Structure 1
């Protein structure tokens, strides 16, 4: 069967379950007779599996959420009083008591205020990180469902890296599993290979993770991975651990 060229462009959308029913049925009929699309769908499924396990967002502890939700509404418990009545106090302490109570209240208020500010800042940072991860995931999804999305995979020992790219979007992403943990002060850096000239494309914070590469593909023929000092380098300082072709 000579399939319409449009069917060959639906591999990414099919793998992410983004096709409406008529197109899905037509593509599955095409898939039964097209080994190239079958292989590409299998590669997309493997990439999506790595996407699901590469990076997880750890929510803030439940206690922190409860404190932040109730800090402006829950009143302080009243002091416990002795039913028999307070014991007699020396006159000097009685005269000093209002000032001591005021000082204690001020110290408590300052302490609670500092805790509230710290918790607010931590919650804001967690919210910003969650928003960043959601935006990154949305960008990954748009890249994966691009009609011309392609994948390339390479291995180095137990480590496996996959590049997903779209020529029409001039955008690429990298997913890794099994990269060894690095000592303090070292990080993995990604590079676009511009026919032998390596162009920085971002830092991978951990051995297992995903990264939307910075910069456009702009004719790059591949993507490389090196180990660099924390903060990255302008040029590779060692041999690439992986070189993945964009072909």
Structure 2
């Protein structure tokens, strides 16, 4: 393969579309070609962002919930015109019995509590969205780092996984595709290999077959990363044989 051909493989490399032989030859080429190394890293970051966006779907019940809540929102009356119900009851407002007044106060208190609860939920959703955006930015930063190095491995069931590590950022990212769901009550857990001692690097989302995961914690002196199947919530140490092991690329 000529040098000209290698320059044209940045996109295929970012999408993991090269054979093992082509990938190894391209990585050797990138070691001496800063332009190709930078372009392939930027394309990998773009591909990861697009994959993250495409894999995030609204819950199936979201549409029905939105349409149902719309019907509970009263339309605002035209400016200067009082709603008909208020016109009819204005003359009797002072005749409300005590139990009705108490009921109104109770309803107002409940409405206030509901408003606070909805506000808290909105704040929680906003914070979750902010954290997700920060995580996406950190993933993209690792993938686009000038010194980012990648290694791909085949997993069972036709799945593939690529680990990308950046020494300058001291972080690693695992990108998986077509990953089967773990058994009920189990979860995929990631581990750093610290010279044979396994250090937890976080949990994968069991409901997503395609995902990019920022490994929890610094790479440090770790030589690689592995995946095991663990009980919900994860384990302190691996309790099963690894499904896959990656040595970090030099």
* Structure 1 counterpart of 2:152: 153
Give CA-to-partner distance per residue, 1:160-213, whole Å, 9 cap, x none.
Answer: 222111012221111222222234431111011223322111111234322211
Count of aligned pairs between the two proteins: 207
C-alpha displacement of 1:48? 4.0
Residues of 1 paired with 2:226 and 2:42: CA distance? 20
Residues of 2 paired with 1:118 and 1:57: CA distance? 25
Normalization by structure 2: what TM-score?
0.66
**Residues 160 and 179, structure 2, Cα contact 8 Å, conserved in 1:** yes
Residues of 1 paired with 2:30 and 2:202: CA distance? 35
Which segment is superposed worse, 154-163 or 40-49? 40-49
Alignment of 1:225-244 (within 5 A): 225-244=227-246
* Structure 2 counterpart of 1:49: 47
- Aligned residue for 1:80, secondary structure, equals helix
Higher Rg: 1
Which segment is superposed worse, 98-107 or 124-133? 98-107
> Residues 224 and 51 (structure 1 numbering): CA distance in 2 closer, same or farther, change over 3 Å?
farther
Q: What's the C-alpha RMSD, in Å, of the aligned pairs? A: 4.2
**Residues 41 and 144, structure 2, Cα contact 8 Å, conserved in 1:** no
Residues of 2 paired with 1:44 and 1:242: CA distance? 26
* Structure 2 counterpart of 1:126: 125
**Residues 192 and 198, structure 1, Cα contact 8 Å, conserved in 2:** yes
| Matching of residue 80 in structure 1 with residue 85 in structure 2 | yes
Any stretches of 5+ residues in structure 2 without a counterpart? 1-6, 15-25
Give CA-to-partner distance per residue, 1:96-117, whole Å, 9 cap, x none.
Answer: 7331331221122122122212
C-alpha displacement of 1:152? 1.4
Residues of 1 paired with 2:144 and 2:153: CA distance? 22
* Structure 1 counterpart of 2:109: 110
Residues of 2 paired with 1:140 and 1:96: CA distance? 65
Residues of 2 paired with 1:212 and 1:126: CA distance? 21
Residues of 2 paired with 1:100 and 1:162: CA distance? 68
Give CA-to-partner distance per residue, 1:79-129, whole Å, 9 cap, x none.
Answer: 62697x99xx9xxxx997331331221122122122212211211111111
Residues of 2 paired with 1:119 and 1:181: CA distance? 33
- Aligned residue for 2:181, secondary structure, equals coil
Alignment of 1:15-94 (within 5 A): 34=29, 45=43, 48-54=46-52, 55-56=55-56, 58=58, 63=66, 78=83, 80=85
> Residues 148 and 241 (structure 1 numbering): CA distance in 2 closer, same or farther, change over 3 Å?
same
> Residues 147 and 46 (structure 1 numbering): CA distance in 2 closer, same or farther, change over 3 Å?
closer
Report which of the two has the higher share of helix.
Answer: 2
* Structure 2 counterpart of 1:215: 217
Normalization by structure 1: what TM-score?
0.67
Any stretches of 5+ residues in structure 1 without a counterpart? 1-7, 16-30
